[in-house]
């Protein structure tokens, strides 16, 4: 397989793996329970979440691929492992929040997710500053989502 075909296949694989988190999350939709929760005045409209997350997942996959290109898994095991850890935590949030209605447990997952994203940002930097910088909007959004999750928990205890 040529290097360019291998790279294209890797990019496709990173898209598949990355988008597995929202595909799994789609099994638990907000529904009536979420609509009935008290939310802060700064809660974004529901229609905003889909486009924001779609862009973030695309950028995340590209960032991981850029790191992979700098030595594949052989030399990039640590940063890519942290990438997969944060992706797993990302996937765990939706069933906890929307499925189990566990507002506090989902907040704990978001805190762990935030740390895992920060570790990913820091570990991506030596391989690719572009990849590291591409992860920063995701970290910012999860910071916002954590604040929102906290406020929803606080208002609905």
Domain that holds residue 82: 3-155
Q: Model-level pTM? A: 0.92
Q: Write the secondary structure of the chain as one string of H (helix), E (strand) and C (coil).
A: CCHHHHHHHHHHHHHHHHHHHHHHHCCCCCHHHHHHCCCCCCCCCHHHHHHHHHHHHHHHHHHHHHHHCCCHHHHHHHHHHHHHHHHHHHHHHHHHHHHCCCHHHHHHHHHHHHHHHHHHHHHHCCCCHHHHHHCHHHHHHHHHHHHHHHHHHHHCC
pLDDT at res. 38: 97
Domain CATH for 34: 1.20.1260.100
Q: What is the pLDDT of residues 31-70, one digit of tens each?
A: 899 999 999 999 999 999 999 999 999 999 999 999 999 9
Tens digits of residue pLDDT in 96-135? 999 999 999 999 999 999 999 999 999 999 999 999 999 9
Domain tally, the chain = 1
| Predicted local distance difference test score (pLDDT) of residue 6 | 84
What pLDDT was estimated at residue 75? 86
């Amino acid at each position: 397989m040529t290097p360019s075909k291998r790279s294209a296949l890797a990019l496709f694989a990173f898209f598949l793996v990355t988008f597995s988190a929202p595909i799994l999350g789609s099994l638990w939709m907000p529904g009536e329970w979420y609509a009935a929760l008290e939310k802060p005045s700064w809660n974004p409209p529901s229609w905003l979440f889909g486009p924001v997350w779609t862009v973030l997942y695309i950028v995340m996959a590209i960032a991981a691929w850029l790191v992979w290109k700098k030595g594949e898994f052989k030399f990039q095991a640590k940063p890519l492992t942290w990438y997969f850890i944060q992706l797993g935590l990302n996937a765990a949030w939706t069933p906890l929040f929307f499925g189990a209605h566990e507002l506090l447990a989902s907040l704990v997952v978001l805190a762990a997710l935030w740390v895992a994203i920060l570790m990913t940002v820091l570990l991506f930097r030596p391989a690719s500053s572009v990849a590291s910088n591409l992860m920063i909007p995701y970290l910012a959004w999860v910071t916002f989502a954590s604040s929102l999750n906290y406020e929803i928990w606080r208002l609905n205890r």
